[in-house]
Amino acid sequence: MIISWDKETNVERGCMPSPKKSEIIKNVLRTLVTISSRKTDLPYTIMTMDDLIRRLETQYRFLKHIQIKDDFYNEESSDMISVLSDINSVPPNELGKALHSIIDSMNRSLGDNAGHFFIKEIRNRLSDEYLTVIRDMGVDLGLMQLESEINRLEREITGRKKQS
């Protein structure tokens, strides 16, 4: 714990160090697996996540530092994801782009109706600190949620026009 002195209140404050990028990525991925596996099933979710990360590796080489274990019989999804500390040296904006792509792709893999609620559930499950850090990386879940809702409404309007 880091101790600092607040000059305004003249009080000593304990500040927890910010979580490492590897810890944040692991927790976001674990959250995605947990939510997605309730909407489909765990083996499909793990295979989808692993396939997605391997495909994105061509664009974001640092994703090679993420390993997804396909131990479907292990209920503890946190053990299925390992993020090597090498990822801590990646610039935050690059991690944010990759994270945005992962969230967006997982969202789309769940079908048309999952979007708004999928992203809302991610927001509800992550701590405020994590939400702030990933927002600083360029991943605004509130904006992603809004975009998802707009896309859903556009599809609905298009469907209605076709019926007319």
Across the range 80-100, mean pLDDT stands at 94
Q: 90 Cβ partners below 8 Å, 6+ apart?
A: 21, 62
Domain range for 125 is 23-163
| Residue 147 belongs to a domain | yes
Predicted confidence (pLDDT) per residue in 4-63, tens digit: 444 444 445 555 667 899 999 999 999 999 998 888 888 888 888 999 999 999 999 999
| Residue 44 belongs to a domain | yes
Whether residue 72 contacts residue 43, with contact meaning beta carbons closer than 8 Å, is answered with yes
Greater confidence (101 vs 6) lies with 101
| Residue 13 belongs to a domain | no
pTM recorded for the entire structure? 0.79
| Residue 141 belongs to a domain | yes
Number of domains in the chain: 1
| Residue 9 belongs to a domain | no
| Residue 100 belongs to a domain | yes
Predicted confidence (pLDDT) per residue in 128-162, tens digit: 999 999 999 999 999 998 888 888 888 889 988 88
Greater confidence (78 vs 62) lies with 62
Confidence category of residue 3, pLDDT binned at 50, 70, 90: very low
pLDDT at 76 over 80: no
Greater confidence (71 vs 101) lies with 101
| Residue 5 belongs to a domain | no
| Residue 59 belongs to a domain | yes
